[in-house]
C-alpha cells in the first residue's frame, strides 16, 4: 500500500526556497492546542507531547482498523506547527519578543483529510482516561484555511527569525501585498531538542492579500 510522506509528496508546502515565495494553501485538518508562556517552560513541552500523543494514536488506530475511510492511505505524522500572535502593544510574539513569558501561541499538528472529528473525539476520550497529561483534554479538532500566503525557509536559531520575517515583509512591498493579520505560522522541520541552533529548519508563513 502506498504511504504518504509529506517530505516527498508535499514539498511545496514543507520544503520552500531560501527566499520568499507566494503559495496558495488549501483547507487543512489540524489538531490544535492554545497556550501562553515561555516555550522553555514545562507546560509548553506538555502541549507538544499531547499533540504528538493523539496524532500517533490516530495513525495507529487507522492502520489497525478494519473499517477505514475509503480514501485512507498509511502516512507519516506531520510536523509540529505553531501560530504566534501579538501579545501586547509593541511586543510581537515571535523571535525578538521582549518578554517570552507573555507569548501567545496555538500549537498544532496537521492530520490527513480522512481523519474525522468523530474518530478524533473517540480516541481523545480514551487517551485522556489513560494518560496523566492534563493538556490532552484541551486538544481541539479544527479545519483551517490559510489561503494566499507568503512563505520562506528559515535556517538558524529561533532568535534570528526576525531577519527572515523582514525579508518577507520587503517581498510584500515589491508585490503589492499586505499581511492579513499580525500572526504568522511556524512549521518545525527539525527537532529543536536534538538539533544545533544554527541547523534548525523552520518554515515561516503568513496569510496575505492584495493591497487596495
Give the CATH number, domain containing residue 192: 3.20.80.10
141 or 128, which is more confident = 141
Specify the pTM.
0.91
Across the range 111-130, mean pLDDT stands at: 90
39 or 29, which is more confident = 29
Residue 139 near residue 77, CB atoms below 8 Å? no
Q: Is the pLDDT of residue 61 over 70?
A: yes
Strands (E), 156-197: 177-179, 184-188
Cell of 107: 500549537
Q: Is the pLDDT of residue 90 over 70?
A: no
Q: Is the pLDDT of residue 64 over 50?
A: yes
Predicted local distance difference test score (pLDDT) of residue 86: 56
Predicted local distance difference test score (pLDDT) of residue 102: 74
Residue of 136, 84, 138, 75 lying closest to 110 (CA atoms):
75
DSSP 206: E
Mean residue pLDDT across the chain: 90
Predicted local distance difference test score (pLDDT) of residue 87: 54
> How far does CA 136 lie from the centroid of its chain?
17
Domain that holds residue 106: 3-210
Band of the pLDDT at 151, cuts 50, 70, 90? very high
Band of the pLDDT at 24, cuts 50, 70, 90? very high
Q: Is the pLDDT of residue 209 over 80?
A: yes
Total of domains in the chain: 1
* Interacting residues of 5 by C-beta distance below 8 A, sequence separation 6+: 75, 76
Cell of 97: 519578543
Q: Is the pLDDT of residue 95 over 90?
A: no
Amino acid at each position: 500500500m502506498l504511504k504518504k510522506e509529506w517530505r516527498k509528496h508535499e514539498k511545496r508546502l514543507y520544503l520552500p526556497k531560501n527566499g520568499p515565495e507566494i503559495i496558495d494553501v488549501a483547507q487543512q485538518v489540524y489538531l490544535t492546542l492554545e497556550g501562553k508562556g515561555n516555550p522553555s517552560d514545562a507546560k509548553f513541552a506538555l502541549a507538544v507531547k499531547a499533540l504528538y500523543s493523539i496524532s500517533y494514536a490516530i495513525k495507529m488506530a487507522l492502520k489497525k482498523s478494519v473499517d477505514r475511510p475509503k480514501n485512507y492511505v498509511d502516512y507519516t505524522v506531520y510536523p509540529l506547527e505553531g501560530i504566534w500572535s501579538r501579545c501586547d502593544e509593541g511586543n510581537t510574539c515571535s523571535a525578538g519578543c521582549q518578554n517570552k513569558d507573555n507569548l501567545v501561541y496555538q500549537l498544532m499538528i496537521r492530520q490527513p483529510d480522512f481523519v474525522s472529528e468523530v474518530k478524533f473525539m473517540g480516541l481523545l476520550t480514551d487517551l485522556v482516561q489513560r494518560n496523566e497529561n492534563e493538556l490532552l483534554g484541551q486538544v481541539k479538532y479544527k479545519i483551517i484555511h490559510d489561503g494566499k500566503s507568503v512563505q520562506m525557509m528559515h535556517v538558524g536559531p529561533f532568535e534570528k527569525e526576525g531577519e527572515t520575517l523582514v525579508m518577507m515583509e520587503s517581498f510584500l512591498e515589491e508585490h503589492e501585498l499586505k499581511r492579513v493579520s499580525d500572526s504568522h505560522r511556524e512549521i518545525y522541520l527539525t527537532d529543536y531538542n536534538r538539533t544545533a541552533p544554527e541547523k534548525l529548519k523552520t518554515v515561516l508563513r503568513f496569510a496575505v492579500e492584495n493591497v487596495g
